[in-house]
Amino acid sequence: MHYTKVNREICIACGLCQLIAPSLYEYDKDGIAYTVKDQNKGTMPIQEQEFESFKKAYTSCPTGAILRSTAPFEDLDTQS
Ligand code: SF4
């Protein structure tokens, strides 16, 4: 299983991740991205059919703000 969330501190609101993987990422009124399914907690696993778009978004993010983990983020980091 893979999990993702956005490091909102370094997101520059470019919108790419939402264009590439709209089922995973959305952005708020300031354009800062977050994960849709778990409100940026990083606790919902990426579905198999989403994984290619996840990888594309992950590698396309200009600032490395998209985080990935093989464990739910709540176990590692309680910040959102
Ligand atoms: S691709 Fe990266 S910088 Fe751009 S909106 Fe998504 S998380 Fe933010």
13-68, pLDDT tens digit by residue? 999 999 999 999 999 999 999 999 999 999 999 999 999 999 999 999 999 999 99
Which residue CA neighbors atom 8 of ligand 1 most closely?
11
- Ligand 1 contacts (CB < 6 A) are 6, 11-17, 33, 61-63, 65-66
Residue-wise pLDDT tens digits, 53-79: 999 999 999 999 999 999 999 865 544
- Ligand 1 centroid – CA 5 distance (Å): 11
At residue 53, φ and ψ (nearest 5 deg) are: -70, -35
Architecture, CATH, for domain 3-74: 2-Layer Sandwich (3.30)
C-alpha distances out from residue 43 to 14, 40, 46, 60, Å = 24, 8, 9, 22
Assess whether pLDDT exceeds 90 at residue 9. yes
